[in-house]
């Protein structure tokens, strides 16, 4: 009898906890109505946005609900299971509608607006929220492909075959000289039970030691632990319209056997799982940098003399190295990346992780990059829906995120092809999707340097 009573007590406690998650009583487990109010931001007069697509995504189950905002800017959902949701809003507007809506000419033929709210609670006590739409950045140089998941650690190349690819989506030559590529830093969990997190779980950088910017530290900047730079005098490295530039972690043919920097031979058991990066435009070789700070050359950081080296722009505050001895992407997908330009990189400040109350020998510092300098950005995400991390990028840079299916599965995320146009000389050029919403702009597929959506 005691065992039965204990079992019943435990079951009642579990049921009680589950009800509390949804608002405090069993009735809250029933579907409820929910309304999302959608407005453009103050740059566009704070007008209500009609015909915007609003998507609710349940953080636990992945279930989605989709509605379109009405003429008054409201999206009404009649029946939503209570829970915690990500709310995303997207709106594409042609130049004619832009002119009619805002009263002046659009800068381009089509503009995308995006908005997002993470960890929105929906239950009988919380039945409405507000989303502000921001105009997407307009840029012709894009991050086209990020190969971060790696290939099988035994039969493939592990993480050695990672690369990032840029693409000229315009009809004019773009010179890549001086372009910066940053691997961003942020919290990888959504816990908010501390004094240094924002409501969405991301670091509250206004709490960093020495920070004086207030909330702008979170809204107007991103923070990077590693930054690389394309060399050149301004006209050495052109990217022609419809062409790519590949930056490899290690610019070698990863399908072929190799000898690492310790003299040990490595054989790739299944070359089909990995890629040939020996024709990359650049590679990230840290050997000389490591030696300059008293660290050994990493055994897998093999320099290919035929591939140009990227410049190492930031690897932590001098004396407080951020740790990695090679450019290594997180194979779980917890990174974000931006490309940006600035003539004042050496003047950008760096700040400690906001969780540090005092500076010690183990403190790491992250360079602060103004959003105004960013040309393009991509938010990656953990492939496991139950291990999602908070966003690092403002919705105007990337309103959502994208992920591969797993680690070490040979996948990359690659931009969708929007259209293929015929040029006056009869040749064809692909135009890639660019709405500043990675969930819409990218697909996941087998890594393919200079390749396109399959």
Per-residue pLDDT tens over the stretch 15-33: 444 443 444 444 447 899 9
Share of the chain above pLDDT 90, in %: 74
* CA distance linking residue 196 with residue 193, whole number of Å: 9
* CA distance linking residue 155 with residue 31, whole number of Å: 48
- In this prediction, residue 430 carries a pLDDT of 94
* CA distance linking residue 205 with residue 220, whole number of Å: 11
User: Nearest to residue 301, comparing CAs of 271, 258, 330?
Assistant: 258
* CA distance linking residue 150 with residue 356, whole number of Å: 32
Q: What is the mean pLDDT of residues 346-355?
A: 95
- In this prediction, residue 26 carries a pLDDT of 41
- In this prediction, residue 422 carries a pLDDT of 86
| Chain Cα centroid distance, residue 46 | 27
Helix (H) or strand (E) holding 35: strand 32-40
Please state, as a whole number, how many other Cβ atoms lie within 10 Å of the Cβ of residue 172.
Answer: 8
- In this prediction, residue 137 carries a pLDDT of 65
When the pLDDT of each residue in the chain is averaged and rounded to a whole number, the result is: 90
Locate CATH 2.60.40.10 in the chain. Answer: 31-135
pLDDT for 11 beyond 70: no
- In this prediction, residue 109 carries a pLDDT of 77
Q: In this structure, what token pair is assigned to residue 39?
A: 């407005």
Q: What is the CA radius of gyration of the chain?
A: 24
What is the tens place of the pLDDT at every residue in 302-341? Answer: 999 999 999 999 999 988 888 889 999 999 999 999 999 9
* CA distance linking residue 241 with residue 249, whole number of Å: 25
- In this prediction, residue 133 carries a pLDDT of 92
- In this prediction, residue 319 carries a pLDDT of 84
Please state, as a whole number, how many other Cβ atoms lie within 10 Å of the Cβ of residue 276.
Answer: 15
CATH class assigned to 31-135: mainly beta
Q: What is the mean pLDDT of residues 114-136?
A: 89
Contacts with 253 (C-beta within 8 Å, 6 or more apart), sequence order = 276, 277, 278
User: Nearest to residue 321, comparing CAs of 354, 343, 292?
Assistant: 292
- In this prediction, residue 138 carries a pLDDT of 64
pLDDT for 48 beyond 90: yes
| Whole-number Cα distances in Å, 202 to 106, 122, 205, 219 | 34, 21, 9, 12
């Amino acid at each position: 009898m005691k065992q039965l009573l204990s079992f019943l007590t435990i079951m009642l406690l579990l049921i009680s906890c589950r009800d509390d998650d949804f608002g405090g009583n069993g009735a809250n487990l029933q579907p409820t109505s929910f309304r999302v109010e959608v407005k453009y931001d103050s740059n566009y007069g704070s007008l209500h946005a009609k015909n915007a697509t609003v998507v609710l995504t349940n953080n636990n189950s992945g279930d989605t609900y989709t509605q379109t905002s009405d003429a008054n800017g409201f999206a009404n959902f009649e029946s939503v299971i209570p829970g915690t949701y990500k709310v995303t809003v997207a709106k594409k507007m042609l130049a004619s509608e832009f002119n009619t809506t805002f009263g002046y000419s659009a800068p381009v033929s089509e503009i995308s607006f995006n908005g997002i709210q993470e960890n929105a609670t929906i239950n009988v006590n919380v039945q409405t929220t507000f989303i502000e739409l921001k105009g997407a950045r307009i840029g012709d140089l894009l991050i086209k492909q990020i190969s971060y998941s790696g290939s099988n650690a035994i039969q493939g190349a592990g993480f050695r075959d990672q690369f990032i690819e840029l693409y000229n989506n315009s009809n004019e030559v773009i010179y890549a000289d001086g372009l910066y590529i940053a691997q961003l830093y942020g919290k990888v969990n959504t816990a908010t039970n501390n004094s240094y997190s924002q409501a969405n779980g991301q670091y509250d950088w206004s709490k960093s030691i020495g920070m004086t910017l207030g909330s702008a530290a979170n809204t107007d900047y991103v923070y990077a632990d590693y930054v690389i730079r394309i060399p050149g005098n301004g006209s050495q490295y052109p990217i022609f319209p419809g062409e790519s530039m590949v930056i490899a972690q290690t610019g070698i043919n990863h399908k072929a056997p190799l000898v690492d920097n310790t003299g040990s031979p490595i054989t790739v058991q299944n070359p089909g799982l990995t890629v040939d990066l020996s024709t990359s435009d650049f590679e990230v070789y840290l050997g000389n940098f490591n030696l300059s700070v008293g660290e050994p050359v990493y055994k897998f950081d093999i320099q290919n003399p035929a591939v140009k080296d990227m410049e190492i722009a930031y690897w932590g505050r001098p004396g407080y190295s951020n740790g990695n001895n090679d450019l290594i992407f997180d194979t779980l997908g917890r990174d974000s990346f931006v490309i940006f330009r600035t003539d004042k990189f050496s003047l950008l400040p760096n700040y400690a992780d906001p969780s540090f109350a005092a500076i010690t020998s183990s403190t790491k510092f992250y360079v602060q990059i103004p959003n105004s300098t960013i040309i393009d950005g991509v938010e990656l995400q953990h492939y496991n829906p139950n291990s999602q991390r908070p966003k690092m990028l403002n919705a105007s840079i990337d309103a959502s995120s994208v992920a591969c299916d797993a680690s070490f599965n040979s996948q990359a995320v690659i931009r969708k092809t929007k259209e293929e146009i015929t040029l006056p000389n009869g040749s064809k050029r692909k135009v890639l999707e660019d709405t500043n919403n990675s969930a819409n702009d990218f697909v996941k597929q087998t890594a393919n340097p200079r390749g396109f959506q399959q």
